[in-house]
Amino acid sequence: MAQDDFRRAIPRTDALLAEPAVAEASAALGHTVVRGVIRQIQDQARRGDIAPTKVLDHVIAALNTTRSSSLTPVLNGTGVLIHTNLGRAPLSKAAQSAVSDAAGYVDLEMDLDTGVRSRRATALRQALLEAVPAAQDALVVNNCAAALLLVSTALGANGPMVISRGELIEIGAGFRLPELMGSAGTELVEIGATNRTHLADYAAALQEPVGAVLKMHPSNYVVRGFTAEVSTTELAKLCAEKQVPLVVDIGSGLLAPEPLLPNEPDFSTALADGADLVLASGDKLLGGPQAGIILGCKELIGHLARHPIARAVRADKLTIAALEATVRAGTSPIKEALHTDLDALRSRTEKLGAALNVPVVEHDGRVGGGGGVEVPLPGVALKLPEALAQPLRTGTPAILTRVKDGACLLDLRCIEEEYDEQICAILSDALNQLD
């Protein structure tokens, strides 16, 4: 390399790593990630794309936009509260803090007073039992499908599971719950018809030995017209007479009735109506992390907890911490978005619309995630040119909108007000680039 070669002026890696801003980023992102960013910038300088004197500035700028994970934070402007493609429920500040606390060593299975091993997730179990007094015991696994797999395997060993044909549901990505149960070797006895199942159908099936009766909430569709189904209360009486466990999968995880969603089942009501076990997801209307929650009969939950499958599907410490914090807080971003003050939402949206000179239109939000099916959440949205959807989606921060009827609709229901000023600046710049 010639003495006057400009590449000699490119800062060395060790010198860049010693810079305070780079050292701080290294502590947050990891040494390997930061070294990789430095090499990329140095290579650009060697090619002559940037001046050697600007290498440090470019490294710092690149590190400011580098994340330790490939997952991209997104502002949800769709008006869909539980957006499966966006990771379902966002965690509350309390739950985020709990996850941070649990990231290191914690007393997950140790009694610090005695120094001996203790039961896993004791505090979470207590929080769930306090929130749902009708439950005798609680067990948490890694998602609701895992809860169903565990129940099917453990109870299905005693005989087939009885289920109505109208509840043989398929959820997202072609995932069919009957196939899940079948994969566990569980035999299903299908009764009734797609649109009508009667108590007599269950009674006929229970003439033979069965492992359990399973009642599934069809959370992501509605059957209308000439229909009939058996209530949990009626079914519980029959199952009690026949000494057969009744398992109810309520889906979206409400702990108690929600007035805005009168047709959405909840743990408290299902247990009060006589269900022996109730299953639900933690990351839907409960507003917590992905988890499968099982509440109900102490004896049955003890049986599930001792089954070998329970070890394979158990929840990790981060899930346990986040779920406990969510249950104890009694609220979540999902609950707050569901109960959004319409006047406040309209005021925020109209303020942005006036600043940007774009119209505000009526827009119904949705619960999403299989909850509150066909229940509109009245609201408003900014009506933007459809061409903005892609640049907003790929910008920083990423903003996901809804494209409908040739327009890009931005609903602020699921976006905290603290972002409004930033969103206004982003939209202003995007609109100017269209002109």
Q: Are residues 198 and 306 both part of a single domain?
A: yes
Q: Are residues 253 and 296 both part of a single domain?
A: yes
- The residue from 330, 353, 383 where one domain ends is 330
Q: Are residues 207 and 348 both part of a single domain?
A: no
Q: Are residues 280 and 355 both part of a single domain?
A: no
Q: Are residues 97 and 78 both part of a single domain?
A: no
Q: Are residues 397 and 362 both part of a single domain?
A: yes
Q: Are residues 110 and 46 both part of a single domain?
A: no
Contact 190, 224 (CB under 8 A): no
Q: Are residues 322 and 369 both part of a single domain?
A: no
Region of 330 on the Ramachandran plot (φ > 0 left; ψ -120 to 50 alpha; else beta): left
Q: Does residue 3 fall inside a structural domain? A: no
**Per-residue pLDDT for the chain (435 aa), expressed as one digit of tens each?**
555 577 888 999 999 999 999 999 998 899 999 999 999 999 999 999 999 999 999 999 999 888 888 889 999 999 999 999 999 999 999 999 999 999 999 999 999 999 999 999 999 999 999 999 999 999 999 999 999 999 999 999 999 999 999 888 877 667 787 888 888 888 999 999 989 999 999 999 999 999 999 999 887 777 788 888 999 999 999 999 999 999 999 988 999 999 999 999 999 999 999 999 999 999 999 999 999 999 999 999 999 999 999 999 999 999 999 999 999 999 999 999 999 999 999 999 999 999 999 999 999 999 998 888 889 999 999 999 999 999 999 998 999 999 999 999 999 999 999 999 999 999 999 999 987
Please name which of 58, 24, 29 lies closest in space to residue 43, comparing C-alpha atoms: 58
Q: Does residue 404 fall inside a structural domain? A: yes
Number of domains in the chain: 3
Q: Does residue 238 fall inside a structural domain? A: yes
- The residue from 330, 357, 388 where one domain ends is 330
Q: Are residues 325 and 211 both part of a single domain?
A: yes
Give φ, ψ of 426 to 5 degrees: -65, -45
Domain containing residue 383: CATH number: 3.90.1150.180
Q: Does residue 106 fall inside a structural domain? A: yes
What residue numbers bound the domain in which 24 lies? 9-64
Q: Are residues 273 and 325 both part of a single domain?
A: yes
Q: Are residues 30 and 155 both part of a single domain?
A: no
